[in-house]
Structure 1
Amino acid sequence: MVNRKELDPERSPREKFGQVMRSLRDERGWTQEELAERAGCSSQHISAVETGRRPPTRRFASRIDRAFGTGDRLERQRQALGHAALLEGLDQYVAYERRAIEIRQFQIGIVPGLLQTTDYAKALAERDIRRGAITPEQADERRSFLARRQAVLMRPRPPMVLVVLDESCLVRPVGGTEVMDAQLARLVEFAHLPNTVFQVVPFAVGERRPFDLPVNLLTLEDRSLVAYAETHAQGQVDRDSSGTLSLLAGYHHLQAESLSQTASVAMIEQLREGTS
């Protein structure tokens, strides 16, 4: 079949869902147009979900289940992929992150996922379970996803990783004293890796801090830039050069306002003394 995209279920959760949907469609000998007619949506929507360009919503999965007569199989598949636990757009960003040669991050309030210890991540997930935002099963998927994401730091040729944390990430208690001490120790270990730059932007910087929201900025092998931003509802990947270059310039200003790596590690060690 001409222009039939090959799907890799290991590349992203969306492609895993798309592969299942395509297999069911192929078993019935239906075209995308025929499935769209039976499901009451456009063939363009079918194509976008099947090829992983658009995430499946609960309503969409239910419609496809009805069209195939598969009960709630697609809905269960959608849940199993962890889309209810992960922001829309995050899996797309992480697919780029795995290929990046440089990763730049700025975070406020919470240690970023790439640097979280297992217990720190578990405490955050348990908070979301208690408030009903996710189920225990979705929490497990979130932790599994995080472990796969952190593997990028262990690959044979790891990327250069530059991280700036707002001081609030260090002083906001998560999971209790022991969990925070271990998390702070993990940050010190990260700072000592040969392919990392670690800095803290202190509260004293005040209004000179150029960002009021987290920043995720990737450099790919072809030197192109990929940015990722989150709202409460979803994440958004941006490859537009004007926006990404502006973020890169702001990140350089952020680093200039931040403590040196040596001073940043000293701040953490001083905080650790207070948690012991």
Structure 2
Amino acid sequence: MVNLKPLNPDASPEAAYGARLRGEREARGWRQDDLAGRIGYTGRHVSGVETCHKPPTRKFSIAVDVALGFVGAAESFEREWQRIEHGVLLQGFPEYLDLEGRAAEIRLFEVGVVPGLLQTREYAQALADGAVDRGIITPEQADERVAFLMTRQAALLRDVPPVLIAVLDESCILRPVGSPDVMKAQLQYLIDFAAQPHTTLQLAPFSIGERRPFNRAVNLLTLQDRSVVSYVESETQGHLDRELSSVIPLVRAYHQLQNVSLSQTDSVDSIHQHRKGSP
């Protein structure tokens, strides 16, 4: 008889994932090798995920969902992986993503990098590769991060797309990311984005100085019922807020930011000039 290692699902999100995986597998009377054969992995790999010796990945989670019949379900292992991947450092982000995919209007502000919803695949890959070089994530996790972002962007391609308003600090277009060709393509993507009928793009130039109200990324969602949700994040944490007393000041500050930022026409002209001046 196999001596299975006891699992404590309360130890961590990864432990909860592993314990649930074992529970679902055993409920079907499958051995680790049985599940492994159905998902294209080894029994040793399944064992490693169950006991937290190997982190689950998006690819692994999708394969498990197919084998266990959880594809598209609220309790899917892919969703659980998303909570592990994004919920520890950025609390509130999984819930934000769910709301983002259903929002009627999305307002963004970003400093330093182009916001994820406006990134090309190559730009996003360059950022992810940089994280690999710094030892923050593995190459596999980098690929998953980019694939996840592309899925997030695709969720907004609806019959009636959300109104998408983006104000970018000037640093977003001045900071080179990836090769010159990658950066040129990213700047062209922003120009094309601004030309769409449901979008607005503005640059907040350095010259506005202390009039810029935000020093970190800010996301504001207007939902179908006209309620507004805010999501503010830094490098290490995120905060989702539905309270009007907290959200209204952010909405007011966002309008003030738009008032002092360049118009869309001037913003696009500026991006054109930076693109021409790129090496």
Report the TM-score when normalising by structure 2: 0.73
Equivalent residue number for residue 140 of structure 1: 143
Secondary structure of 1:106's partner? Answer: strand
Distance 2:251 2:16 in 1: 34
1:245 aligned to 2:248? yes
Secondary structure of 2:164's partner? Answer: strand
Structure-2 change in CA distance of 1:202 and 1:71 (3 Å): closer
Give the alignment partner of residue 128 of structure 1, picking from 127, 131, 137. 131
Give the alignment partner of residue 184 of structure 1, picking from 183, 187, 205. 187
Secondary structure of 1:246's partner? Answer: helix
Give the alignment partner of residue 265 of structure 1, picking from 261, 268, 271. 268
Give the alignment partner of residue 158 of structure 1, picking from 161, 170, 181. 161
Distance 1:119 1:26 in 2: 38
Give the alignment partner of residue 73 of structure 1, picking from 33, 37, 50. 50
User: Which residues of structure 1 form unaligned runs of 5+?
Assistant: 1-13, 30-68
Q: Is the 8 A contact 2:105 2:164 kept in 1?
A: yes
**Structure 1 stretch 114-123 or stretch 18-27: which is displaced more?**
18-27
Q: Is the 8 A contact 2:216 2:234 kept in 1?
A: no
User: Which residues of structure 2 form unaligned runs of 5+?
Assistant: 1-12, 28-45, 59-80
Count of residues in Structure 1 that have an aligned counterpart in Structure 2: 223
Structure-2 change in CA distance of 1:70 and 1:273 (3 Å): closer
Alpha-carbon offset, residue 74 of structure 1: 6.1
Secondary structure of 2:216's partner? Answer: coil
Give the alignment partner of residue 114 of structure 1, picking from 109, 113, 117. 117
Distance 1:20 1:222 in 2: 38
Secondary structure of 2:200's partner? Answer: strand
Structure-2 change in CA distance of 1:127 and 1:83 (3 Å): farther
Equivalent residue number for residue 209 of structure 2: 206
Distance 1:151 1:172 in 2: 26
- Give percent identity, aligned residues only: 48
CA RMSD of aligned residues (A): 2.6
Distance 2:244 2:227 in 1: 8
